[in-house]
Amino acid sequence: MDTLANAGPETPLEAQPAAPASLSPTRPLYWSVRRELWENRSLYIAPLVVAAVVLFSFLIGTIGLPARMRAAAALDPAQQQTKLAMPFSMAASVIILFTYIVGAFYCLDALYGERRDRSILFWKSLPVSDLTTVLSKACIPLVVLPLFVFAIVIATQLVMLLLSTVVALLNGLGAAPLWRIPLFRMSLVLLYGLIVHALWHAPLYAWLLLVSAWARRTPVLWAVLPPLALGAFERIAFGTSHFGSLIRYRLAGTLAVAFDFEARDGVVPGVEALRFLTSSGLWSGWAFAAVFIAAAVRLRRNREPI
């Protein structure tokens, strides 16, 4: 009897399986962002292709590099630095411009594409909220692409510097002027510029996501034509162009708000981080971005596949 009593069931504490670890609130967002990168390989392939084209073009341009270095040697140090740093700045500008285009087309297809191919039915069956899904898509142009393009630009400029050094040494020229190019300070300003542009353009990306969630076809036209029509209406009806000026300000206003080109130190412009962070344009833009994101979340929750 004692043996049978001792062989009874385990205590509840011993029989109860260990509770699973609690899921981090940011875990679904992290995996949603990774899913976007898996499904949209053009996000990182396109900037890499542009960087390769830039490097190939620069390699061809090194044919005239010795002549340019000899011509720059007759200039004062500041002008010489500006002249030699020009290809590096142009390479960064080209890569960043094409990355902005990639980000815009991604946003236009981010929510429209999953309705078009009906994959939204599968993704909605997963325990991921519409808010998390839309925020993960917004993170691509606002966070992922700026960091990725920063790494690409740095790598591209380093390869350009090495190629320039080799060409200069092979032609009997000193490489010291090339290594005096302030690439480190240029990189810091580049990172600052990518951050402020992402923050400034947030309402534009949010608007594209909203159109992507709403349009039944040709989201590009629905994203572009209403602003153009509204600007044309204002111009014809009232003879003013306030809306057009607002769009131009949102597209390129960050240059005047976040930088001080009069305080340029050689090829590196001055930064105005405090002026940027306290500007009304930044915070009003984020208010519109929040409204657009909220509307996109609601549309994704209620929209059916196309």
pLDDT digits over 109-140, tens only? 999 999 998 888 888 888 889 999 999 999 99
Burial of 99 (0-12, 13-18, 19+ CB in 10 A): buried
Q: How confident is the model at residue 74 (pLDDT cuts 50, 70, 90)?
A: confident
Residue-level pLDDT at 3: 46
Residue 260's beta-bridge partner residues? 270
With vertex at residue 283, the alpha carbon angle to CA 280 and CA 289, rounded to the nearest 5 degrees, is 135
Please tell me the predicted confidence (pLDDT) of residue 261: 82
- Global pTM value: 0.87
Give the rounded percent of residues in the chain with a pLDDT score beyond 70: 91
Residue 124's pLDDT is what? 85
| Per-residue pLDDT at 282 | 94
Q: Is the pLDDT of residue 11 over 60?
A: no
Contacts of 88 (CB under 8 A, 6+ apart): 157, 160, 161, 181, 183, 186
DSSP string, the chain: -HHHHHTSPPPHHHHSPPPPPPPPTTHHHHHHHHHHHHH-THHHHHHHHHHHHHHHHHHHHGGGHHHHHHHHHTS-HHHHHHHHHHHHHHHHHHHHHHHHHHHHHHHHHHTHHHHHSSTHHHHHTSS--HHHHHHHHHHIIIIIHHHHHHHHHHHHHHHHHHHHHHHHHHTT--SHHHHTS-HHHHHHHHHHHHHHHHHHTHHHHHHHHHHHHH-SS-HHHHHHHHHHHHHHHHHHHHS--HHHHHHHHHHHTHHHHHEEEEEEETTEEEE-HHHHHT-HHHHHHHHHHHHHHHHHHHHHHHPPP-
- Cβ–Cβ < 8 Å for 91, 149: no
Average pLDDT over residues 9-33: 61
For residue 266, pLDDT over 80 is answered with no
Give the residue, 116 or 22, on which the prediction is more confident: 116
Which residues neighbour 69 within 8 Å (Cβ) at sequence distance 6 or greater? Answer: 84, 168, 173, 177, 178
Say if CB 193 and CB 95 are below 8 A apart: no
Please indicate whether residue 135 or residue 15 has the higher confidence score (pLDDT): 135
The per-residue pLDDT for 23 is 56
Tell which residue, 177, 167, 183, has the closest CA to residue 64. 167
pLDDT band at 10 (very low <50, low <70, confident <90, very high): very low
Find all residues with CB under 8 Å of 123, minimum gap 6, and list them. Answer: 114, 133
State residue 25's pLDDT score: 65
Q: Convert the pLDDT of each residue in 200-215 to its tens digit.
A: 999 999 999 999 999 9
Predicted pLDDT at 192: 95
pLDDT for residue 8 is more than 50 = no
Q: Average pLDDT, stretch 141-160?
A: 95
Mean pLDDT to the nearest integer, 283-301: 95
Q: Bigger pLDDT: 246 or 10?
A: 246
Taking 60 as the threshold, does the pLDDT of residue 59 lie above it?
Answer: yes
pLDDT at residue 163 greater than cutoff 50: yes
